[in-house]
Structure 1
Amino acid sequence: MTKGSVRFDNVTKRFGAVVALKPLSLDIAPGTLVTLLGPSGCGKTTTLRLIAGLEAPTDGRILIGGEDVTHLSATYRAVSMVFQSYALFPHMTVAENVAYGLTVKRVPRAEARERAETGLEMVGLKGFGERLPSELSGGQQQRVAVARAIVLEPEVLLLDEPLSNLDAKLRRQVREEIRQIQQTLGLTAVYVTHDQEEAMAVSDRIIVMKNAEIAQEGTPGDLYDRPNSAFIADFIGDANLIDVEVTASGKETEIELLDHRLRVPLSGVSSGPAKMVLRPHQLRLSREPGPVTLPAEVGYAAYLGNSVQYTLNTPAGQVFAIMPPTANPFRQGDNLHLGFDKEDIRLVPA
C-alpha cells in the first residue's frame, strides 16, 4: 500500500441496534477520485466519516497509506474534509479561513499566509484574501473551503456533498474545478453525493451503495453500460425497464417480448423472467412500423431546446424516450412505432 491509499477491511458500523454499515471491504488507489453514491440512508456518509475518523468502526480495520488508523482520532489522520455547509468563520478574512488549519498545527505565521495565498490561487481566488466570506458568492465560498482543505497537504481529500447548496449551472462549474485540482495535485479523493450525474462527471470509480452495503462498483462507463441489477440501471442514468422472458441462453440469448422473439448478443444469462434495459436515447420513434417495433401512443411531450422528451404508453408499459428536436415533433396523442437495436439491449434479473 502506498501513500494516499485507503483500505477498508471488513468494516462494520452499528449505532445500537441500527446497522449503518454492513461488513465492507474496499480499496481506493492513490491519486484517484472515488465517489460514494446512493440514496439517503445507504451508508455513504457513514463510510466517509469512518475514513475521516469522525466515527469509529464497530468491527474491522481502516488503513490509510498502509497505516492502521482504526483507533486514530481525526486530528492525527492525514485527511482533510470539505463540508456541505462550507463551515467558514464569518469574522475571519478569506485568507485567515484558509490558513486556519495551518495555524492550529502551529505552522509559522508567514509560511501559513504564503500557503494560504497559494491555495487561493489554485482555486481561482487570487486577490480575494482580504475579503470576508459574506462578500463572496456561494461558489466562491465553496472554493475557499476546498483551498482550506488542500493547503494542509492531506493524503486523502474528503468531500461531503460539496455542491448541494449551489444552483445547477454553478454546480457544473465548481465540480469541474474540483476535478482539475484533484488531478493537478494527484490527490486521492473520496467524494460523497446522491447526484448520479455529478458522480459520473468527476469520478475515476463509483461505488454505488444501497441498504448499508455496496450494490455495484466500477467506472462510470461500467455502471452505465453493464448494470448488474434493476436498481443500478435505474439509478445510474435514466433507464426503461421492460419485462421479458429469457427462453434460451448460450453465446447469444433469446428473449420473448410480447409477440416478439429476439436473439440478443449477450451470454451467460439465466433463463426465466428478466428486465430488459433500454436507455431513452437508444430508442427510435417513427410513424411507420419496423422489423422490431412496439405500438406507442405519446402521453406527454416536452421540448427542452436541445432535445424533446416523450412519455409513451405501450403494451409493455410506460416508456421514456429522448429525441433530438425536429421541425415537426410528435404531439400528445400521436400513435407511433417504438424501435430499438438489439445490440443496445441489456438484461438484469427481474
Structure 2
Amino acid sequence: MTKINAGSVRFDGVVKRFGDVTALKRLDLDIAAGELVTLLGPSGCGKTTTLRLIAGLETASDGRIEIGGEDVTHLTATSRKVSMVFQSYALFPHMSVAQNVAYGLTVGGMRKTEAAQKAEHGLEMVGLAGYGERLPSELSGGQQQRVAVARAIVLEPEVLLLDEPLSNLDAKLRRHVREEIRQIQQRLGLTAVYVTHDQEEAMAVSDRIIVMRNAEIAQAGSPKELYDCPNSAFIADFIGDANLVPVEIDRVDDGQCHFTIGNRRYSTTNALIQAGPAQAVLRPQSINLDNPQMDGLPGEVTAAAYLGREIQYTVETSAGPLFVIAEANARAHKRGDAVSVNIANEAVRLVAN
C-alpha cells in the first residue's frame, strides 16, 4: 500500500485574536511527520482554533506556522497540503461514493479517468473496494466516515485533519471506527491532527495528546504519561476517572512526600511538590476494598453497580466519598457494607492545589 508523504507541523509563538478576545495564547507546538496527535479539551479551550489555523481557515494574529518545514503562515487553505475530515461528513447525496471521493481531484483539474482511478485506490485503502457505485445513503454511518477519509487522503495531503470525526456515531460504532481510522493512519504513515472532547477516544487513537485549557496547553504527553503523571488536578480529573482528595504534606525528604489520608499515613515520590496543602489523585482501579477487619481506611459502601466487566462502588470514608472500580470476579460488596479501603503508596499521585 502506498504511503503518503507525511509532513511535520510546527507552531512558533502562534497567537489568534478575534477582536478583543484571545482565542489562542502564545502557542509553541511540534508535531512529527507520521504522528497522530489529538487536541483534547473542553469547549472553548482553543483546540478547534488550532486545527483551523493548521488548515488555513483562520489566519494567525502573531507567530509562524510551518508544514513540512515550509512557512505557510500567510498561505490560503487551498495552497496548503492539508485535508480535513469534518464532523458532518459533507457527502453529496446525489453522487456515487466514487464520485464523492474523486470530487476534490476533478475540481482541482484532474482528468476524470485519472480521478476515478485514484478514487478507486482511495476506497481500497479504507477497506471499501467495490463500494464505488453505491450512494452514500446506502452505507452505514461508519462506512460514510471512511468515504470522508478516502476523499481526504486521495488529495495526498502532508497533514490530515480530523474535526470531531466520530461525534455523529453511536458509542459502539465509535469504538469500531476509531480503530479503523488509527489503522489507516498507521498503514499510510499519515501525519494526523485529531480534535475531540472525548478523553477515552483521545487515549485510544493517539501517539500523543495535547490537553488544552483556557486557550493554551495544559499538558502534553502520551496517553499513559497523562494518566499516570498528571501535572494538575484539572488533568487528573479530565484524563480518566480520578478521586481528588485534599491532603496536607507534612514534610518532603529527597522528593518523598509524607502525608495523611483520613487516619492513614502515606508517602509517595514527587519532587515537584512542596510541604503544605496539595491534592492526592487516587485512580478508582487502584483502590482495593477488603473486609473491615483489614488494616485500611474504614469505609461504608453507599452505592454499588454491576456493569458486566466491572463493579463500580461509592464508598464513604473520613476522607470523603471515593469512587472505586473492581473487577467483576472480585468479592462483591453491597450497599451498607462496612469495608476497609486499601491504597498502595505507589498508587497515589500528588498535584498542587
Q: TM-score range by the shorter chain?
A: over 0.9
Residue identity opposite 1:302 in structure 2: A
The one of 260, 270, 277 aligned to 2:274:
270
Deviations 1:184-203 (A, max 9, x none): 11110000000111111111
Aligned to 1:184: 187
Aligned to 1:135: 138
Alpha-carbon deviation of 1:349? Answer: 0.5
Matches within 5 A, 1:15-34: 15-34=18-37
Aligned to 1:257: 261
Structure-2 separation of matches of 1:50 and 1:346: 35
SS class of match (2:202): helix
The answer as to whether partners of 2:15 and 2:61 remain within 8 angstroms in 1 is yes
Are 2:328 and 1:325 equivalent residues in the alignment?
yes
The answer as to whether partners of 2:259 and 2:266 remain within 8 angstroms in 1 is yes
The one of 193, 209, 212 aligned to 2:212:
209
Alpha-carbon deviation of 1:226? Answer: 0.4
Are 2:278 and 1:279 equivalent residues in the alignment?
no
The answer as to whether partners of 2:17 and 2:61 remain within 8 angstroms in 1 is yes
Structure-2 separation of matches of 1:314 and 1:166: 39
Structure-2 separation of matches of 1:220 and 1:326: 27
Deviations 1:68-109 (A, max 9, x none): 111111011000000000011111110000001111111121
SS class of match (1:116): helix
Aligned to 1:124: 127
SS class of match (2:305): strand
User: What 5-or-longer segments of structure 1 have no aligned partner?
Assistant: none
Aligned to 2:225: 222
The answer as to whether partners of 2:141 and 2:169 remain within 8 angstroms in 1 is yes
Structure-1 separation of matches of 2:107 and 2:272: 57
The one of 230, 235, 238 aligned to 1:235:
238
Deviations 1:279-310 (A, max 9, x none): 1110100113444x212111111110111000
Residue identity opposite 2:221 in structure 1: G
Residue identity opposite 1:213 in structure 2: E
Aligned to 2:12: 9
Residue identity opposite 1:51 in structure 2: I
Over 3 Å counting, the alpha-carbon distance change for 1:105 and 1:40 in structure 2 is same
Alpha-carbon deviation of 1:327? Answer: 7.7
Aligned to 1:36: 39
Are 2:64 and 1:61 equivalent residues in the alignment?
yes
Residue identity opposite 1:21 in structure 2: L
The answer as to whether partners of 2:86 and 2:163 remain within 8 angstroms in 1 is yes
Deviations 1:4-51 (A, max 9, x none): 010111111111122111111100010000000001110000000000
Structure-1 separation of matches of 2:188 and 2:163: 19
Residue identity opposite 2:212 in structure 1: M
Aligned to 2:147: 144
The one of 93, 110, 113 aligned to 1:110:
113
Deviations 1:141-188 (A, max 9, x none): 101000000111100000000001111111111111111111111110
The answer as to whether partners of 1:250 and 1:268 remain within 8 angstroms in 2 is no
Deviations 1:98-143 (A, max 9, x none): 0011111111211111110111111111111111111111111101
Structure-2 separation of matches of 1:55 and 1:264: 45
The answer as to whether partners of 1:250 and 1:267 remain within 8 angstroms in 2 is no
Alpha-carbon deviation of 1:3? Answer: 5.5
Please tell me the root mean square deviation across aligned C-alpha atoms, in Å.
1.3
How many residues align? The count is 348
The one of 80, 84, 87 aligned to 2:87:
84
User: What 5-or-longer segments of structure 2 have no aligned partner?
Assistant: none
Identity, in percent, stands at 68
The answer as to whether partners of 1:280 and 1:322 remain within 8 angstroms in 2 is yes
The answer as to whether partners of 2:6 and 2:191 remain within 8 angstroms in 1 is no
Aligned to 1:244: 247
Alpha-carbon deviation of 1:329? Answer: 1.8
